[in-house]
Amino acid sequence: MTTATPQRTDERRTVPPKSQGNPALRFLAANKSLVGLILLMAIVSAVSPNFLTFDNQMNILRQTSINAIIACGMTFVILTAGIDLSVGSVLAFTGAVCASLVGGDTSLWIALPATLALGAALGAANGAVIALGGVQPFIATLVSMTVLRGATLVYTDGRPIGTIDGQGADAFWAIGGEYVFGVPVPVLISAVVFIVCWFVLSRVRFGRYVYAVGGNEQVTRLAGIDITAVKIAVYAVSGLLAALAGVILTARLESAQPTAGTAYELDAIAAVVLGGTSLMGGRGHIFGTLVGALIIGVLNNALNLMEVSSYYQMIAKGAVILLAVLVDSRGKSSS
Amino acid sequence: MTTPLLDLHGISKTFGPVRVLDRVDLTALPGRVLALVGENGAGKSTLMKIVTGIYHPDEGGEIRFEGQPVRFTNPRQAMDAGIAIIHQELNLLPGLSVAENMFLGREPRGPFGLIDWRTMRERARALLHRLKQDHIDPAWPVGRLGVGAQQMVEIARALSLDAEVIIMDEPTDALTDVETQILFEAIRGLKADGKAIIYISHRLGEIFSQCDDVAVLRDGGMVHTGPVAELTEAQLIHHMVGRDITDQYPYVPAEAGPVRLAVTDLTAEGVAGVSFEARAGEVVGFAGLMGAGRTELARAIYGANRIWTGTVLLDGAPVRLKSPRDGVRAGIAYVTEDRKADGLIQPHSIRFNMALGSLGRLCRAGGVVDRDRERSAVAEYMRVFAVKAPDMDAAVQTLSGGNQQKVSLAKSLLAQPRVVILDEPTRGVDVGARREIYQLVNQLKAQGLCVLLMSSDMPELLGLSDRILVLSHGRVTGTFAHGEATQESIMERAVAVP
């Protein structure tokens, strides 16, 4: 069945090398996760008539947007064969800082860029510890995950920080709660994030270097590329996008919760892996991450529609992820 | 007359169309040390892989062990029969103890199948005592021992297997002088016990001082066997390299330009004070044995290894070389010896790899890759280099060694360097592609590039270089102009101790 699979030679799996076979079939074989998503949606819509309604679809997209944005940053990191466990804590910390700025009447024109810059700086600090300090990404980001969660609790004193008292409260809420032409604003934001990430990874020099570092660090270094800068940059991207997710979540809830974003790193990693990006680095695509995030979103939504208890939902989600990864790895070893 | 412990007769081995060994005979007698010598690629390691059951010989030959015909189908059988090999890169687990390493997979068992630690340590101690290595504690982790002591552990393991034939592959390469003397003493002990030792080495001094017999392989054929005492050093060298150089090296005399690269008193890891000049439009060859410092010199000039002292001038201006990035920016390109590990990103495409070092030039404003320019540049180089591939999006790992080497070369040249360092450019490359690469080297020269050619392939060096520098122990021990050098004179300088 996989004989028509083109060799995954390149970052741009959507344009596989010229070879025999039906182009549509080759596209699907190279994008199994998309097939999985379509199958999943077909099954759910057959079981639950409410699933395919416009409102529900928008609901799925809105619920997915936070994870999707974090997963975009995670894709950069994983493509360099790294991992970022700190995204949930970065989200919580930057969200708390953002809430106190907005609640304290700081102009949104200052509060939002400051929050995003803080996220990027926290990520860059992760990258510096990894690239300059030679610490394993798993350990370095495990440390910052713990430290930042603690810092969030200290900063918030363990209590939510509300934004509704600020002058810009309504405009701020719109970032998370408003609709434009019936589409939630967070969905529009994540669409922009995906397009920008796709462009950077496939068209910009930096994107090439991300794939190169993950493909073979030594070769990349010998080609005269500053791999330290590339590594710091990918973690900065991850931190920046985690902060953006923090802003959206805080805006929607009109408050920052000190425990926000707990375990979000796992959903983000799951989305990236479901999308076919290799944890060994160098192989994968942002399009796959989008599909991976949607699979998780659809699954959550479907289990809710089918009124499955939330306890069982976690088991079902784990089972689906395992199944998807098994199918993917079988496809790889037989090709 | 004594029965040979190991007797090979008419052993041949072909890989595809290439005959690597051609009807080779080899006899190892008990209580004697047999030196196996030959240039890199002469077939020594293939022959030893056949003896130890890793490769199977072609039909027609015969291997006799202790007089009986044998046919090993895997390394385990050879080991059980009593043939042990001590590889250049030692096969020990650093975290386990000396005794555990010696009896790995054959641990003495006590009741309930538990490991009998006491017996294991005692047997280890007895074996080490036989080698006069009583200072090595069997309970120590191997990683804490020096390389020499680790080698003794390997030899003790061979003894624990009751090996009758012990093969040592370049055993003294990583040893200090003191450790070397200890090894020689151990070898004399093994001889006295009636073991046969096959000793592979490039070091002529050791062959004449330690070995009884010598067997010389050249181009897969056994060209000389006999007692060491009947040979002079010069005769042995002649046997090793004595082939005629045919016209497969299209040498074009240089029209040397101004001095492009001037290296003065350079010291770095493995490089102990090297000075030389290289001109635009000149190919400077670097000869030397393995570990002489050629790759280390290349990496230092390129910025991949740190320069301790000394200066590098490029077109008269000093260059600061702290990282490969500095090297690339200064216009120095390095085509690596090890394409797999640090030359090309194997799963990625030809296009991705070729453009990787030159994206700065191939970008529009804002770092956006200009894909039209990228594609046309890559297409151009694929045409000039005659890269055989379905298209530029084919994965590098699907290409042959020769084509991979061409991609690797093209990648370096795409960055428009002024100096190109080629480190073993034809290793693992078949004959046809070799000649293409040689012609490319001449083209680079004609375009006024300065080419540094590091190679273990002597005919290649002699055929392409305008000048040859010989390195030994990180120093220049000889300089020859084109036509002045012979393989013998180079070999003589390469084994010289500066």
> Can you give the pLDDT at residue A331?
54
Q: Looking at residue A6, what is its pLDDT? A: 37
Contact residues of A toward B, CB < 8 A:
7-11, 17-19, 203-206, 208-209, 211-212, 215-216, 218-226, 282-283
Domain's final residue, options B212, B241, B270: B241
Domain covering A39-324 assigned CATH 1.20.950 in the classification: no
Query: How many other CB atoms sit within 10 Å of the CB of residue A29?
Result: 20
CB contact under 8 A, B368 and A205: yes
Residues whose CB is less than 8 angstroms from the CB of residue A271 and which lie 6 or more positions away in sequence, other chains included = A67, A68, A71, A74, A289, A292, A293, A295, A296
- Determine, for residues A10 and B348 on separate chains, whether the beta-carbon distance falls below 8 Å: yes
Residues belonging to chain B: 498
Report the domain count for chain B: 3
Q: Tell me the mean pLDDT in the region B446-470.
A: 89
For residue A9, the model assigns a pLDDT of: 37
Q: Would you place residue A333 in the very low, low, confident or very high pLDDT band (cuts 50, 70, 90)?
A: very low
A199, A210, A219, A227, best to mutate vs chain B, most B CBs in 10 Å: A219
Residue B468 pLDDT exceeds 90 = yes
Inter-axis angle of helices A185-203 and A227-253, to 10 degrees? 170
Provide the shortest C-alpha distance from residue A225 to chain B (in Å): 6
Using CA atoms, how far apart are residues A185 and A251, in angstroms rounded to an integer?
Answer: 11
Distance from CA of B331 to the nearest CA of A (A): 11
Q: Which helix (H) or strand (E) holds B423?
A: strand B419-423
Shared-domain flag, residues B324 and B467: yes
Rounded distance between C-alpha atoms, residue B344 and residue B138, angstroms: 43
Tell whether B209 and B250 lie within a shared domain. Answer: no
- Contact criterion met (CB < 8 Å) for B395 and A208: no
Query: Does B361 contact chain A (CB < 8 Å)?
Result: no
> Which B residues, 363 through 422, put their C-beta within 8 Å of a C-beta on chain A?
363, 366-369, 371, 390-391, 393-395, 398, 411, 415
The type of residue at B11 is I
Which one of A196, A198, A222, A227 would you mutate to disrupt binding with B, by most B Cβ within 10 Å of its Cβ?
Answer: A222
Query: Least CA distance to A224: which residue of chain B?
Result: B325
* Cβ neighbours around A312 below 10 Å, total: 10
Nearest to A218 among B342, B371, B415 (CB): B342
pLDDT at residue A16 is higher than 50? no
Do B247 and B440 touch, CB atoms closer than 8 A? no
* Residue recorded with tokens 């160098």: A282
Q: What is the pTM of this model?
A: 0.74
Question: By mean pLDDT, which of A331-335, B31-35, B175-179, B464-468 is the weakest?
Answer: A331-335
Tell me the shortest Cα–Cα distance from B388 to chain A, in angstroms: 15
Lowest mean per-residue pLDDT among A19-28, A261-270, B343-352: A19-28
> What is the least distance, in Å, from the CA of A207 to any CA of chain B?
9
Residue B1 lies in a domain: no
Using CA atoms, how far residue B125 sits from B101, B115, B122, in Å, is 13, 17, 5
**Record: contact B357-A8, CB cut-off 8 A:** no
Together in a domain, B82 and B48: yes
Q: Phi then psi for A241, rounded to 5 degrees?
A: -70, -30
Beta strands in B269-417 (DSSP E): 271-279, 282-287, 307-314, 317-318, 332-335
If pLDDT is split at 50, 70 and 90, which confidence band does A330 have? low
What is the least distance, in Å, from the CA of B344 to any CA of chain A? Answer: 6
Q: A126 is written with which tokens?
A: 């992760």
Q: Are residues B199 and B278 in the same domain?
A: no
| Closest by Cα among B457, B415, B473, B35 to B225 | B35
Residue B245 has pLDDT above 80, yes or no: no
Q: Report CA-CA distances (Å) from B369 to A80, B198, B352, B359, B374.
A: 20, 57, 11, 7, 8
Average pLDDT of the segment spanning B39-48: 79
* Same domain membership, residue B223 and residue B363: no
- φ and ψ of A242, to 5 deg: -65, -40
- Tell me if A211 and B359 make a contact (CB, 8 A cut-off): no
Question: In this structure, are B452 and B464 located in the same domain?
Answer: yes
B317, B269: one domain = yes
Is B266 in the same domain as B160?
Answer: no
Whether residue B288 contacts residue B470, with contact meaning beta carbons closer than 8 Å, is answered with yes
Nearest-angstrom CA–CA distance, B222 and B61: 14
- Residue B465 CA to residue B452 CA, distance in Å, equals 9
The count of CB pairs under 8 A between chains A and B is: 102
Q: What is the pLDDT of residues B410-419, one digit of tens each?
A: 998 888 899 9
Q: Which residue has the tokens 């040689």?
A: B438
Question: What's the pLDDT at B6?
Answer: 92
What is the rounded distance in angstroms from the CA atom of residue A94 to the CA atom of residue A92?
Answer: 6
Whether B352 contacts A15, CB under 8 Å: no
Q: How confident is the model at residue A328 (pLDDT cuts 50, 70, 90)?
A: low
| B367 contacts in chain A (CB < 8 Å) | 204-206
Euclidean distance between CA atoms A241 and A263, whole angstroms: 16
Apex CA B360: angle with CA B354 and CA B364, to 5°?
Answer: 110
Instruction: Flag whether pLDDT at B187 surpasses 70.
Output: yes
Do the Cβ atoms of B393 and A224 come within 8 Å?
A: no
Q: What is the SS3 string spanning A135-185?
A: CCHHHHHHHHHHHHHHHHHHHHCCCCEECCCCCCHHHHHHHHHCEECCEEH
Beta strands per DSSP E along chain A: 161-162, 179-180, 183-184, 255-256
The CATH number of residue B97's host domain is: 3.40.50.300
Of A203, A208, A222, the CB nearest to B334: A222
Q: What are phi and psi of A206, to 5 degrees?
A: -55, -40
Whether residue B74 is contained in a domain is answered as: yes
**Of B189, B212, B241, which closes a domain?**
B241
Asked if B438 and B309 sit in the same domain, the reply is yes
The pLDDT value given to residue B201:
83
Distance, CA of B144 to CA of B234 (rounded, Å): 41
Dihedral through CA B460, CA B466, CA B470, CA B475, nearest 10?
-140
Of the partner residues A218, A224, A282, the one whose CB lies closest to the CB of residue B357: A224
CB atoms within 10 A of CB B66: 15
Q: How confident is the model at residue A332 (pLDDT cuts 50, 70, 90)?
A: low
| pLDDT band for position A174 (cuts 50, 70, 90) | very high
| Domain end call among B365, B386, B416 | B416
> Chain A closest CA to B257's CA: distance in Å?
27
Q: Which pLDDT score, from 0 to 100, does residue A4 have?
A: 37
- Tokens representing B37 are 């010598």
| Chain A interface test: which of B348, B419, B421 (most A C-beta within 10 Å) | B348
User: To the nearest whole angstrom, how far is the Cα of B353 from the nearest Cα of chain A?
Assistant: 9
Nearest-CA distance from B90 to chain A in Å?
Answer: 24
Is the domain of B104 the same as that of B128?
A: yes
Please report whether residue B101 resides in a domain: yes
| Residues B202 and B351 both lie in one domain | no
Phi-psi region of B94 (alpha: psi -120 to 50; beta: other; left: phi over 0): alpha
Helices (H) and strands (E) counted in chain A, each on its own, are 14, 4
- Terminal C-alpha separation, chain B: 44
pLDDT digits (tens, 9 = 90+) for B375-406: 999 999 998 888 888 889 988 888 877 788 88
Binary contact (A17, B348; C-beta < 8 A): no
Give percent of chain A above pLDDT 70: 91
Q: Containing domain of residue B235, as a range?
A: 6-241
Q: Which residue has the tokens 């392939």?
A: B457
Q: Does residue B23 belong to any structural domain of this protein?
A: yes
Domain range annotation of chain A: 39-324
**Residue B149 and residue B56 in one domain:** yes
What are the tens digits of pLDDT across the range B125-136? 998 888 888 888
Tokens coding A190: 């994540």
